[in-house]
């Protein structure tokens, strides 16, 4: 069975940015595949596209539409927040990272692509964090 993949915010942002062409190309290949994201990821990407890339509201609307048509989007509900709290205690994740990990686990992903978290960490014997730029 193929791995179910969750994308952290930084992977999507590298797909938009050409500052580091190597990371851009790697990220672009990842974001074009089937994946899962959360509403948190959409929020974080959108705010960065507005602040760092000067995206217009029309472009933000296109990003939102594309995100919901391309990916499975996990909402943040009580169960995700509660599990995130447990993950923070057990793994010492930051608040926002714990929400990403919790959403990935809730959607039954086996891989979480992220540049910012501990590469190759296996969480709950279910989810492995992979830094695709290593």
Distance CA 98, CA 77 (A): 14
CATH number of the domain at 59, please.
Answer: 3.40.50.1010
- Residue 87's nearest CA partner among 104, 73, 111 is 104
DSSP 11-55: HHHHHH--SSHHHHHHHHHHHTS--EEEHHHHHHHHHHHHHHH--
Distance CA 113, CA 32 (A): 13
pLDDT of residue 1: 60
Instruction: Please give the chain's pLDDT, 134 residues, in tens.
Output: 678 999 999 999 999 999 999 999 999 999 999 999 999 999 999 999 999 999 999 999 999 999 999 999 999 999 999 999 999 999 999 999 999 999 999 999 999 999 999 999 999 999 999 999 99
pLDDT of residue 2: 75
Structural domain boundaries, residue 77: 5-130
- Residue 39's nearest CA partner among 133, 123, 103 is 103
The count of structural domains within the chain is 1
Rounded to a whole number of angstroms, the distance between the first and last alpha carbons of the chain is 25
């Amino acid at each position: 069975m193929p791995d179910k993949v969750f994308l952290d915010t930084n992977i999507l942002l590298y797909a938009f940015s050409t500052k580091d062409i190597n990371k851009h190309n790697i990220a672009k290949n990842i974001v074009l595949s089937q994946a899962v994201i959360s509403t948190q990821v959409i929020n974080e990407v959108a705010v960065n596209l507005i602040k760092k890339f000067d995206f217009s509201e029309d472009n933000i609307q296109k990003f939102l539409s594309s995100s919901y048509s391309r990916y499975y989007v996990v909402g943040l509900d009580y169960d995700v927040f509660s599990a995130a709290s447990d993950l923070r205690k057990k793994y010492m994740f930051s608040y926002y990272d714990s929400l990403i990990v919790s959403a990935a686990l809730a959607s039954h992903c086996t891989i979480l692509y992220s540049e910012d978290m501990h590469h190759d960490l296996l969480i709950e014997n279910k989810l492995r964090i992979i830094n695709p730029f290593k």
